[in-house]
């Protein structure tokens, strides 16, 4: 056995090599208790439908792209107002007007194909060749509790991408202003990739016999996914897509909006600068804390299907930054604030970011500690209280531990509260000019509440009475003292 437990119950092991030539696949076996194995078997099979079952996911797969087009059209062509047919007789002409906007300004043109495909190829290339920190993931029940090794080099890839983009812009090879100008065209190409990769991964997984936790419904299994750990060489595709495409696009959309403002007005508004800061913080956090991602439920349990693939290819980058699209296409006088308002806005963002960053770090490093990992990666910025020393926890019959210290002593999901607060500021930066930029925060809170319910239900099944004990100690789901 690769590790043994000491008196504290922490598994002692040799720290995995950070030589990028090391084995990237299976690392070692870490078994839970017999009770834990029994409960994991229950969790690792399909027992019920989510999202309304096959008809529900079909509605999501068809409805969400339509909604993305509609909101973009309203934002760009109708001054951010939610338009609708003026009468019953206007329904058909209204739909034709909507289609004409898509046909002309959101067609999958050659430029969009070159830019979006170029980004995918470049990010895959960087993920493959750039040296990275080797991080061990959590034990995967479907792999007989073996752990996988993950190459974490996003932080280097992100800044190489930034330098590349700056050079291309400076030498007029690729103007960053063109990104926001081609928003509609790029969005359509992103959607095509989202659908194409989702169906391709389903068919290739089934054809190779690597499917897991299947329901038997074709469309539902495409939506939820068939594969768990898709990889190309050293690149874990699920982790790669979670960071390298959506948040890179979100950041460069904001930079593109800032460049457009500078070219038009000779300055960048504090509002657009706010979005550049906000998206950089998120992108940098995903890169600098990439070694925390293998410790998450997304990596060791969630499958790679349309739900994740489409959302990362198209949903996140083209529905989270409507404020940037609005500000890039409207006069800054529409959203100019007094100085105290800007101070409050920036302060709220930075405070929420601190709580989000440190709470995520506390939970991930606590999980690493339970695996015997006590040395951590140092990337900028390392914030105070990101690592807990001798934290309190509940030892479960399953074999896992539930953290009851740090931010996690006050709330079961402190990271969700901070994350949502940041999403709200992304709408607030344009004030009340349009309701559409608030889509991110409205949609996000629905997602978080749904996900929270899923998590708590699975934890109740997985931990039984230990979960009840945990809930009696950490009483509040989200906001301490309120809910």
Under DSSP, the state recorded for 266 is S
Q: How high is the pLDDT of residue 458?
A: 87
> How large is the average pLDDT for residues 305-327?
97
Residue 445 has pLDDT above 90, yes or no: yes
Q: How high is the pLDDT of residue 43?
A: 78
Length reported for the chain: 483
Residue 476 has pLDDT above 70, yes or no: yes
> How large is the average pLDDT for residues 336-362?
97
Q: Which helix (H) or strand (E) holds 27?
A: strand 26-29
Residues 113 and 270: their CA atoms lie apart, in Å, by 32
The number of CA neighbours under 13 Å toward the Cβ of 5 is 9
Query: 6-20, 27-41, 392-406 — which is least confidently predicted?
Result: 6-20
Residue 26 bridge partners (DSSP): 148
* DSSP, residue by residue, 101-166: HHHHHS---HHHHHHHHHHHHHHHHHHHHS--EEEE---BGGGTTEEEEEEE-HHHHHHHHHHHHH
Query: 16-30, 188-202, 342-356, 411-425 — which is least confidently predicted?
Result: 16-30
* DSSP, residue by residue, 355-416: HHHHHHHHHHHHHHHHTT-------S---TTSS-SS--EEE-TTS-EEE-SGGGGT-S-HHH
* Mean pLDDT of the residues in the chain: 91
pLDDT in tens, 65-115: 999 999 999 999 999 999 999 999 999 999 999 999 999 999 999 999 999
pLDDT in tens, 125-167: 999 999 999 998 888 888 888 889 999 999 999 999 999 999 9
Q: SS3 of 342, please?
A: helix
Evaluate whether 426 touches 280 at the Cβ level (below 8 Å).
Answer: no
Q: How high is the pLDDT of residue 470?
A: 96
Evaluate whether 294 touches 136 at the Cβ level (below 8 Å).
Answer: yes
Residues 469 and 394: their CA atoms lie apart, in Å, by 8
H runs (alpha helix) in 208-269:
218-224, 237-243, 246-265
Confidence band, pLDDT 50/70/90 cuts, at residue 37: confident
Q: Which of 393, 387, 394, 392 has its CA nearest to residue 368?
A: 387
Q: How high is the pLDDT of residue 182?
A: 97
> How large is the average pLDDT for residues 284-297?
91
pLDDT in tens, 251-276: 999 999 999 999 999 999 999 999 99
The listed range with the strongest mean pLDDT (67-76, 365-374, 445-454) is: 67-76
The number of CA neighbours under 13 Å toward the Cβ of 329 is 21
Q: Say what the pTM is.
A: 0.90
């Amino acid at each position: 056995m690769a590790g043994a437990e000491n008196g504290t119950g922490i598994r002692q092991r040799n720290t995995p090599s950070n030589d990028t030539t090391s084995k990237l696949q299976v690392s070692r076996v870490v078994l839970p208790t017999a009770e834990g194995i029994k409960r994991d078997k229950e969790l690792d099979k399909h027992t019920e439908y989510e999202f309304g079952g096959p008809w529900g996911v079909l509605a999501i797969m068809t409805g969400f792209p339509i909604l993305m087009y509609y909101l973009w059209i309203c934002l760009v062509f109708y001054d951010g107002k939610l338009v609708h047919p003026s009468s019953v007789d206007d329904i058909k002409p209204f739909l034709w007007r909507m289609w004409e906007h898509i046909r002309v300004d959101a067609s999958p043109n050659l430029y969009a194909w070159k830019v979006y495909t170029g980004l995918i190829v470049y990010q895959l290339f960087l993920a493959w060749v750039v040296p990275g920190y080797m991080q061990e993931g959590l034990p995967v029940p479907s792999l007989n509790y073996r752990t996988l090794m993950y190459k974490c080099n996003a932080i280097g890839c992100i800044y190489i991408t930034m330098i590349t983009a700056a050079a291309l812009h400076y030498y007029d090879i690729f103007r960053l202003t063109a990104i926001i100008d081609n928003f509609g065209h790029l969005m359509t190409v992103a959607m095509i990739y989202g659908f194409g990769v989702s169906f391709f991964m389903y068919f290739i997984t089934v054809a190779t016999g690597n499917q897991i936790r299947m329901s038997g419904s074709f469309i539902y299994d495409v939506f939820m996914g068939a594969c768990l750990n898709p990889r190309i060489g050293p690149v874990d595709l699920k982790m790669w897509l979670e960071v390298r495409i959506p948040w890179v696009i979100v950041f460069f959309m904001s930079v593109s909006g800032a460049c457009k403002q500078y070219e038009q007005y000779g300055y960048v508004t504090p509002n657009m600068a706010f979005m550049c800061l906000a998206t950089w913080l998120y992108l940098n956090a995903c890169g600098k804390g990439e070694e925390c991602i293998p410790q998450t439920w997304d990596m060791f349990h969630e499958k790679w299907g349309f739900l994740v693939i489409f959302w990362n290819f198209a949903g996140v980058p083209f529905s989270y930054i409507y404020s940037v699209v609005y500000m890039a296409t409207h006069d800054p006088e529409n959203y100019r604030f007094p100085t105290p308002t800007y101070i409050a806005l920036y302060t709220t963002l930075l405070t929420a970011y601190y709580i989000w960053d440190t709470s995520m770090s506390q939970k991930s490093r606590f999980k690493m500690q339970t695996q015997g990992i006590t040395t951590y990666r140092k990337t900028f910025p390392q914030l105070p209280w990101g690592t807990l020393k001798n934290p309190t926890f509940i030892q479960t019959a399953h074999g896992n531990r539930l953290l009851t210290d740090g931010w996690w002593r006050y709330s079961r999901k402190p990271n969700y509260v901070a994350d949502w607060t940041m999403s709200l500021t992304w709408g607030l930066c344009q004030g009340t000019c349009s309701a559409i930029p608030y889509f991110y925060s409205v949609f996000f809170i629905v997602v978080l509440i749904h996900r929270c319910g899923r998590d708590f239900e699975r934890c109740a099944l997985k931990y039984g009475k230990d979960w009840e004990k945990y809930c009696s100690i950490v009483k509040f789901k989200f906001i301490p003292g309120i809910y």
